[in-house]
Amino acid sequence: MVAANELIGGVLAKRPVAPTGVVGWITTIDHKRIGILYGVTAFIFFILGGIEAFLMRIQLASADSSLVSPEVYNQMFTMHGTTMIFLVVMPMGAAFFNFVIPLMIGARDVAFPRLNAFSYWTFLFGAILLNISFLTGGAPNVGWFGYSPLTDNIYSGGSGVDYWILGLQVLGVSSLAAAFNFIVTIVNMRAPGMSMMKLPVFAWMTLIVSFLLVLAFPVLTVAITLLLFDRLFGTTFFDVSAGANPLIWQHFFWAFGHPEVYILILPAMGIVSEVLPVFSKKPLFGYTVVVFSGVLIGFMGWGVWSHHMFTVGLGPIANSAFALITMFIAVPTGIKIFNWIATMWGGSIKFSTPMLFAIGFITMFIIGGLSGVMHAVAPSDTQQSDTYFIVAHLHYVLFGGSIFGLFAGIYYWWPKITGKMMSELLGKVQFWLFFIGMNITFFPMHFLGMDGMPRRIVTYAGESGWEFWNAFSTAGVFLIGLSIVVFIHNVIYTARNGKKAGNDPWDARTLEWSISSPPPEYNFVEIPTVKDKDAFWDEKYSQGPDGRPIPKVQGAAEVAVKEKEHNIHMPTPSYYPVLLSVGITLIAGGLVSHLSVSIIGGILALFAVYSWAFEPATAPDAPASSEKEGAY
């Protein structure tokens, strides 16, 4: 086997030792490049999911409209939800995990660089598998939580649901691999002196998210596997006529789905916890409390899933218990909000674009959080369930929360990623368009929901009186679209005219700002030693008697380290991660198309696994990294 691999590997794929161009990107195992790949891909899917949303809003702008057929409309809301959750917010979070975490904790890369590349490619191919259903006779049209028995063969005959299942299955492999990687990286690769309670909050939130992924995703894996067996192999897991209880799908789905909600919001909370102190010139208020609130949310997130199911008739005892835990989970969340406000209190606040998005996050998340507490009250939720009130709530949390937090991260770390400052003016224009557009789009949905407009309807009668607010809401979408155009313009403008960022444009607090922008391939010439929280701030400032920071004079230490640049051996790029991703995706794709595709995929995956296992992490003939500074 080994000899065969060496033979085939030697002929087919000589190891890419120092590749450039497209091959360089395909075989890269550099966490920074993988982070960029994640970010760009997620942004493209953000546009796609936005177009799906736009089509829905255009259809709903007027009563009795027939621009979009019901079939297409159902596909739109299913794919919009699935795309935004699995292909936008999660990978955009992963983009920051990848780019920032090793820099923040003073590491040269993640613990498993090739596994990291595998996560990205598997995500990309899973996303393509999910979306390819548009071309093969209809995308999934059962809602993003695919309630049984709607997903059975009888009600969903085509292959759309199969693509949905298999796409999610492949995406799950990607998420799990990434989560394992980041747990090991954060637990094991911290710079000397960086104890867990000196870890930046963003790294803490990444760790919690990774644990949630590790524990929540297998539940979804099992649920969709059961569904797949029902559809393809004649089992009866969700078949009522065989005595099954389709409610079990809902329990499994939400036992995954509610931790998933925290998987989506905690990265944004982590980003905001990094941005606020930098632009307030104050340390984060109550670091320990913020960290433990995050941990508590991670735990309690497991005990609230049935609040998605208050109307299915679980009975008063179950409903009361889940209502109580749901209300309790607002406590750690509220604590975080108060800590963020206290961080800004008395600080010298600078309203740069990242700060605006961070403050936008807090305000919008408070609104979404408050309607969340309303849903925790089971009797009140009975009125709101499956209405536009829910749509309003979830968009305030996911759009006003996650997306705002992620944009704060994009603006905050852009100088570090590209080495250039984004235009502040364009950034502020984008923020206000985004902020106003978002509120115009989603706030009226509260009124519509209270007035009884159900979600997921393709149209409504003119006499319902819902037309005004729907038209109003659709108008907001244009502002959001415009703001995205401004953002893209800002990106292009910055690439051409952006001024150089330097190492530390924001006078920031964490280690990623202590190195050049963009960072060299090996990140740190010498791994830093950490003495306290806000490790980089400590290097720059000491505390005066009045509590104000006093700049330290830069010592000779910086000059000295330049001499030691040699002998940094980074892991070598590899073909096998992407090959394994292709293999796994073909296995999944073959189950809906043709079994021979699965078999080819299986052989490919097997070849990739064995070649990978016997390939050393660093090729013996690879050059040391000292001369490849700042190269993507």
Selected catalytic residue, list 152, 162, 230, 260? 260
Q: Which stretch binds other proteins (CB under 8 A): 237-245, 380-388, 468-476, 507-515?
A: 237-245
> Quick check: is 627 catalytic?
no
Cα separation values, 21 from 9, 18, 27, 417, 576, Å:
21, 10, 10, 18, 18
**Can you say how many angstroms the Cα of residue 608 is from the centroid of all Cα atoms in its chain?**
27
**C-beta closer to other proteins: residue 132 or 248:** 248
**Which of 438, 517, 449, 508 shows the shortest CA–CA distance to 473?**
438
**C-beta closer to other proteins: residue 66 or 567:** 567
> Quick check: is 446 catalytic?
no
Selected catalytic residue, list 28, 159, 273, 293? 273
Helix (H, G, I), strand (E, B) or coil at 551: strand
Question: Quick one: residue 572, left, alpha or beta (phi over 0 = left, psi -120 to 50 = alpha)?
Answer: beta
Question: Contacting other proteins (CB under 8 A), which of 237, 411, 414, 576?
Answer: 237
**C-beta closer to other proteins: residue 550 or 561:** 561
Selected catalytic residue, list 108, 258, 395, 416? 258
Question: Contacting other proteins (CB under 8 A), which of 42, 87, 183, 263?
Answer: 183
Q: Which stretch binds other proteins (CB under 8 A): 7-15, 89-97, 182-190, 547-555?
A: 182-190
Selected catalytic residue, list 38, 73, 144, 537? 144
CB of 7 to other proteins, least distance (A): 13
Helix (H, G, I), strand (E, B) or coil at 229: helix
Cβ neighbours around 44 below 10 Å, total: 13
Cα separation values, 526 from 51, 502, 561, Å:
46, 19, 7
> Counting runs of H as helices and runs of E as strands, what totals does the chain give?
21, 2
Q: Determine if the peptide bond prior to 519 is cis (ω within 30°).
A: no
> Quick check: is 393 catalytic?
no
Query: What CA–CA distance (Å, rounded) separates 479 from 429?
Result: 11
Selected catalytic residue, list 308, 395, 420, 509? 308
Q: Using CB under 8 A as the criterion, what x/- string covers residues 382-421 for binding other proteins? A: ----------------------------------------
> Quick check: is 308 catalytic?
yes
Residue 170 interacts with other proteins (CB under 8 A)? no
DSSP string covering 119-176: HHHHHHHHHHHHHGGGTTT----STTTT-TTTTSTTT--SSHHHHHHHHHHHHHHHHH
Q: What is the amino acid identity at position 59?
A: Q
> Quick check: is 307 catalytic?
yes
Long-range contacts of 16-24 (CB under 8 A, 24+ apart): 16/572, 16/573, 16/574, 16/575, 17/572, 17/573, 17/619, 17/621, 17/622, 17/623, 18/573, 18/622, 18/623, 18/628, 19/573, 24/573
Place of tokens 């709903």: 60
Of residues 521-540, which lie at the interface with other proteins (CB under 8 A)? 525-527
**C-beta closer to other proteins: residue 237 or 414:** 237
Query: What CA–CA distance (Å, rounded) separates 55 from 348?
Result: 44
CB of 214 to other proteins, least distance (A): 5
Of residues 472-501, which lie at the interface with other proteins (CB under 8 A)? none
Question: Contacting other proteins (CB under 8 A), which of 47, 232, 242, 492?
Answer: 242
**C-beta closer to other proteins: residue 215 or 324:** 215
Selected catalytic residue, list 73, 262, 466, 537? 262
CB of 316 to other proteins, least distance (A): 21
> Quick check: is 251 catalytic?
no
> Quick check: is 395 catalytic?
no
> Quick check: is 529 catalytic?
no
Place of tokens 């893209």: 488
CB of 77 closer than 8 Å to CB of 143: yes
CB of 237 closer than 8 Å to CB of 151: no
Cβ neighbours around 6 below 10 Å, total: 12
> Quick check: is 260 catalytic?
yes
> Quick check: is 460 catalytic?
no
Residue 194 interacts with other proteins (CB under 8 A)? yes
**C-beta closer to other proteins: residue 21 or 620:** 620
Of residues 195-234, which lie at the interface with other proteins (CB under 8 A)? 214-219, 221-223, 225-226, 229, 233-234
Cα separation values, 8 from 13, 14, 209, 326, 579, Å:
8, 9, 39, 56, 14
**C-beta closer to other proteins: residue 111 or 511:** 111
Of residues 108-127, which lie at the interface with other proteins (CB under 8 A)? 108, 111-112
Q: Using CB under 8 A as the criterion, what x/- string covers residues 127-166 for binding other proteins? A: ----------------------------------------
Cβ neighbours around 588 below 10 Å, total: 25
**C-beta closer to other proteins: residue 186 or 397:** 186
β partners of residue 541: 551
CB of 188 to other proteins, least distance (A): 4
CB of 345 to other proteins, least distance (A): 34
**Phi/psi at 154 (nearest 5 deg)?**
-60, -40
Selected catalytic residue, list 133, 175, 210, 611? 175
**C-beta closer to other proteins: residue 281 or 569:** 569
Place of tokens 């942004």: 43
CB of 426 to other proteins, least distance (A): 40
Question: Contacting other proteins (CB under 8 A), which of 338, 493, 610, 632?
Answer: 610
> Quick check: is 120 catalytic?
no
**Phi/psi at 297 (nearest 5 deg)?**
-60, -40
**C-beta closer to other proteins: residue 220 or 458:** 220
Selected catalytic residue, list 57, 108, 190, 307? 307
> Quick check: is 594 catalytic?
no
> Quick check: is 152 catalytic?
no
Tokens of 248: 């079990």
Q: What is the amino acid identity at position 549?
A: P
**C-beta closer to other proteins: residue 42 or 220:** 220
**C-beta closer to other proteins: residue 46 or 86:** 86
Query: What CA–CA distance (Å, rounded) separates 617 from 338?
Result: 45
Residue 189 interacts with other proteins (CB under 8 A)? yes
Question: Contacting other proteins (CB under 8 A), which of 567, 595, 621, 627?
Answer: 567
Query: What CA–CA distance (Å, rounded) separates 327 from 135?
Result: 44
CB of 626 to other proteins, least distance (A): 10
Selected catalytic residue, list 148, 151, 306, 333? 333
Query: What CA–CA distance (Å, rounded) separates 238 from 348?
Result: 58
Of residues 26-45, which lie at the interface with other proteins (CB under 8 A)? none
- What number of residues does the chain have? 632
Q: Applying CB under 8 A, which residues contact other proteins? A: 1-3, 108, 111-112, 176, 179-181, 183-184, 187-190, 194, 214-219, 221-223, 225-226, 229, 233-237, 242-245, 248, 252, 255, 525-527, 564-565, 567-569, 610, 613-614, 618
Q: Which residues belong to the active site?
A: 80, 109, 144, 174-175, 258, 260, 262, 273, 307-308, 333, 336, 455
